[in-house]
A and B are shown apart, each in its own frame.
Chain A
Amino acid sequence: MLAPENLRYSSDHEWIKSEEGGRVRVGITDFAQDALGDIVFVELPELDAAIEAGASIAEVESTKSVSDIYAPVSGKVVEVNDELNDEPQKLNSDPYGDGWIFVVEVQDQAQVDALLDAAAYGELTEG
């Protein structure tokens, strides 16, 4: 499965991309979308919500099952991908691009640094 080198990863199969202004963009990995199968519904986190690392803040639902999306880091939700309301299948077709789910203004950069790198995430999904 594809896991780009420039991203960080959570053990809950999310990718985290550092962006300008202390923000990170979050989505689910190629491994996750493949395991879930066809995604038919995404419940986005609330804009401006304060989130705690590890808390369930969104849901992704496939033809088979419902999965929680956990906050990979603490902070504030500053953007959500509204297009997923009408086109949840973008999580399958472009998990690292148009399938992004939300952007967080990070509270503590150390939480980002502590996430898995591509090699470590690769080991997790190979194992």
Chain B
Amino acid sequence: MTKSTPLHGLHQSLGAKLVPFAGWEMPLQYEGVIAEHLWCRSNAGLFDVSHMAVIELWGADAATALERITPAGITTLAVGRQRYGLLLNDTGGVVDDFMVTNWGEHLTMVANASRRDADMAFLSQHLDDVDIVERPDISLIAIQGPRAAEAVASLSTDGPELIDEMVFLDNRLAALATGSGPVSVAVARSGYTGEDGFELAVDGADVQALAEALLANEAVKPAGLGARDTLRLEAGLCLYGNDLDETTSPVEADLVWSMPKRRREAGDFLGAARVQAELADGPSRVRVGLAPGGKRPVRDGATLSGTGHTDGSAGTVSSGGFGPSVERPVAMAYVHPDLKESGTELEADVRGKSVACTVADLPFAPHNYRR
């Protein structure tokens, strides 16, 4: 049974092309992927991300407990702050990537829709001292782009300063004005496009009024999963299932920054043996940016060859496509460490055709977070 979010009717009325995604019927696009992508980078795009899993962890020791299964810093996360982290299995592979906020009394995780069942089983298995509460009643919308702040701030019933003064990864409760009156919203200054913006958590009963209030602003247009994917790819951000899976380690994924020194050195988390070994000796492959020459996109699954690593043994593309802002194909790949330096020349096998590619610095489009 395919699920739909409380914004399903709104998507239809906005002319969305709806597609199945991780068990949900979600908008792929409205006006078109490229137009939505470019609008988001120059104005503000509104994304329904209500399919994502919202999971609360309650209990005095929830942060300490969560650190058993993630190398992220959780006990050091201040109240009202959010952080990116990875759940690791006992072999150091990524079970999921997530955002977590410390609300003081509890933690709230936002995780991938495609990993909801796996995450819940994993959390239940390892956190028997924590009260784990899934919140399907909460809807999430992301508003991303350089004009997202003005759109959100203009709805703040306690004044725009409450929103304007927030910096990247702040999360706070605010009342936002809608056609149905003010609604209570957890406003996180974060997102997954590389742009400044917010992820808004709101009761499912209020989400349509909130979305309509935001869309009433001429700076805001709806954007679908297609643009979300091209935006995150240009921003060099990992997509679970493409760039991360249960065999991928944080070191391979070049996500060492998500593991503070205290955690890396202590090794007091599931999968730490592999993480520490790879930090000491280097991983057997590593995620890099890849710039295909010419115009032909190079997509996930394409194998790579390079000096000393022939016949596709240099690595594999994990995400790839056309980057509307950079106006050329962009990709990410896992390659042999010998070939990870920017400027290294590789060849991708795209359905039997060889495409010259160059290892490139990430991100392809600069991050514009409000620090």
Contacts and interface: CB of A to CB of B under 8 A. Distances in A.
Interface stretch (A23-31, A38-46, A94-102, A109-117): A38-46
Q: Which of B296, B324, B329 is the most central at the interface, judged by chain A CB atoms within 10 Å of its CB? A: B296
Contact of B33 (A41, A61, A63, A88): A63
Contact of A64 (B35, B226, B329): B226
A66 B350 CA distance: 11
B33 A37 contact: yes
Given A38-B33, A61-B297, A88-B295, 9 more contacts: A37-B28, A37-B33, A38-B35, A40-B34, A40-B329, A41-B322, A63-B226, A63-B322, A64-B226
Interface residues of A, number: 12
Contacts of B322: 40-41, 61, 63
B282 interface: no
Interface in A62-98: 63-64, 66, 85, 88, 92
Nearest to B29: A37
A3 B295 CA distance: 30
Chain B, interface size category, equals: 10 to 19
| SS of A interface (majority) | mixed
A92 to B, nearest CB: 8
A63 B295 contact: no
B296 A37 contact: no
Given A37-B29, A40-B322, A41-B322, A63 B296 contact: no
Nearest to A89: B34
B32 interface: yes
A43 B226 CA distance: 22
A40 B297 contact: yes
Nearest to B230: A63
Contacts of B34: 38, 40, 63
16 contacts: A37-B29, A38-B34, A38-B35, A40-B295, A40-B297, A40-B322, A40-B329, A41-B295, A41-B296, A41-B329, A43-B296, A61-B297, A63-B324, A64-B28, A66-B351, A85-B295
A43 B294 CA distance: 12
Interface string B319-350: 00110100001000000000000000000000
A109 B172 CA distance: 70
A41 B350 CA distance: 13
User: Can you list the 10 inter-chain pairs with the closest CB atoms, starting with the nearest?
Assistant: A40-B322, A63-B33, A38-B34, A38-B33, A41-B295, A38-B32, A41-B296, A63-B322, A37-B33, A61-B297
Most chain A beta-carbon contacts within 10 A, residue among B33, B35, B322: B322
A10 B217 CA distance: 44
A22 to B, nearest CB: 32
Nearest to B32: A38
A61 B226 contact: no
Contacts of A92: 32
B32 A37 contact: yes
Contacts of B324: 63
Interface centre among A38, A41, A85 (most CB of B within 10 A): A38
Nearest to B225: A64
